[in-house]
Structure 1
Amino acid sequence: MLNKVTESAAQAMSNITDGATILIGGFGLAGQPAELIDALIERNARDLTIVSNNAGNGETGLALLLKSGCVRKIICSFPRQHDSYIFDDLYRAGKIELEVVPQGTLAARMQAGGSGLGAIYTPTAYGTLLAEGKETRTIDGIDYVLEYPIKADFALIKAFQGDRWGNLTYRKAARNFGPIMAAASKHTIAQVSEVVDLGVLDPEHIVTPGIFVHEVVHVGA
């Protein structure tokens, strides 16, 4: 009987090793898989590359992961905010690498990774510092920058409901990057507020089908 529900967040982190690339969902704190991140910190894998929308808020979740010293590099769109002081301190001290990617490009690169595309052309960042050293091309009179897919060893995402096959639904804005991250990783771990029986989820409401999900962790509301 196929059952992807994992006993605990700690167990779900057991396969994460040093040097892994991990996609972490969330738009700020909305949809951030906080319990999975806490378990990742306890796992204490080192030299990680993290791909997320931002570089953490305050001293919780993603910011706490950076503070733990587990992260070698972060790829994100918004590294600096009013409460991103942990990232700021690490970056200024040369203790973390940063790759800034415009938000739409970040999403498109992950979509390309999940769709099996070799690369994409985007007009975003053409003529800026972010395009330096990258291939460019003019198509129909518009200048584009070549960007390569983002794929990862693991994705940590937050969903609302999940079943034992790994089918997921999301709650409003908490959906954000979850679906595309699930498709772009080799091993997706989803924390859910509710685990429901097979057949409860309306197929029309399932955003991420179980084929993209490998483990489901119930963390409550």
Structure 2
Amino acid sequence: MTDYGLDPRRVDPEYDRHGGFPVFEAADPGPGFGRFLTAMRQAQDLAVSVNPDPDTWDEAADRVEELVKLLDPFRAGEGAGPANRVPSLPGAGSLLMPPWTVTRFEADGIELEVTFSRYHVGGNSAVHGGVLPLLFDSMFGMVIHATGRPISRTAFLHVDYRKVTPIDTVLTARGWLREAEGRKAFVNAELLDADGNVLAESNGLMIRLLPGQP
């Protein structure tokens, strides 16, 4: 698998002129961070699915507040903390992202494996429709990086929902550059189940930032 945590200046010498984004170099926070993410994802699933007695909620709140107290002194700026900078972990180590793993990262296309869970349910055991644009938008950024194009932002993103997206099963997501024209990059992505059925597909436009644009 290609290391998608490379310094973007290697593919974009004008990187600093396109909004001055932090340099997202790969981080190595140690095995404890992976354990932390796993536990937090389990906590997210439980937070939206359990129905305990009222006293248990108070006890749970006490423990979460203790966790907040433990971590609060270590707040770090964007690009400094390990979240979103550990390619070997699901979602690159970001709890915001669905837990995907990159299986292919090439100029002609990227591929991920992703498994949604109870935390992502919108109703009737189906993944919430709003979660899929987050996945696709993340993929569009990966496509831009994989093709060596300059840093860009999403101008628009369109999603077609073809079938219900299930939880607790490994799905495949693919993304690729369809066409490039100057600052514009038109990108596509799709989400498939194990049988190759298209669950959702997306197309979007990524625009290269001009000097000084955030």
- With normalisation by structure 1, the TM-score equals 0.23
- With normalisation by structure 2, the TM-score equals 0.23
Rg larger for: 2
